[in-house]
């Protein structure tokens, strides 16, 4: 079970314990970026421009694939929940609960009390 804390100090909890043993800090930033986009698919082009500006497409794509692998390996995420296919990275947002997603849901439901918590 994962939980992502995005308000205040960003943290990842795995099975209820804070997890800090990431293979790559860039992988963690990539995960946060994808989660904060709020989209279930993010274009590979957007990710390459954001994380590897100025590098060749081959180099950038290879690095993107490696970072996604590190996220899945470190957090024990099944491939189906975070995968890249051709031009998009797909993520199952429900597999990554966070304080941010709870906040956005409260706003959508016009629940000011829940949003302020």
Tell me how far apart the alpha carbons of residues 117 and 102 are, in angstroms, rounded to a whole number: 10
Q: What is the pLDDT of residue 100?
A: 85
Q: In what order do the strands lie in the sheet with 88-91?
A: 41-43, 88-91, 82-85
Q: What is the pLDDT of residue 117?
A: 66
pTM to 2 decimal places: 0.88
Residue-by-residue DSSP string for 68-98: HHHHHHHHT--GGGEEEETTEEEE-GGGS-B
List C-alpha distances in Å: 72 to 7, 55, 84, 108, 115: 23, 24, 12, 30, 30
Mean pLDDT of 19-31: 95
Do the beta carbons of residue 6 and residue 36 sit within 8 Å? yes
Mean pLDDT of 45-72: 96
pLDDT of 76-106, one tens digit each? 999 999 999 989 999 999 999 998 888 888 7
């Amino acid at each position: 079970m994962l939980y992502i804390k995005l308000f205040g100090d960003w943290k990842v909890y795995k099975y209820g314990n804070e997890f800090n043993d990431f293979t790559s800090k860039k992988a963690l930033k990539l995960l946060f970026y994808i989660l904060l986009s709020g989209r279930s698919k993010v274009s590979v082009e957007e990710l390459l421009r954001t994380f590897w500006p100025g590098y060749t497409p081959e180099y950038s794509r290879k690095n993107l694939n490696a970072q996604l692998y590190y996220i899945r390996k470190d957090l024990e995420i099944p491939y189906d929940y975070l995968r890249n296919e051709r031009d998009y990275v797909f993520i199952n947002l429900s597999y990554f609960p966070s304080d941010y997603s709870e906040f956005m849901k409260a706003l959508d439901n016009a629940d000011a009390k829940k949003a302020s918590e």
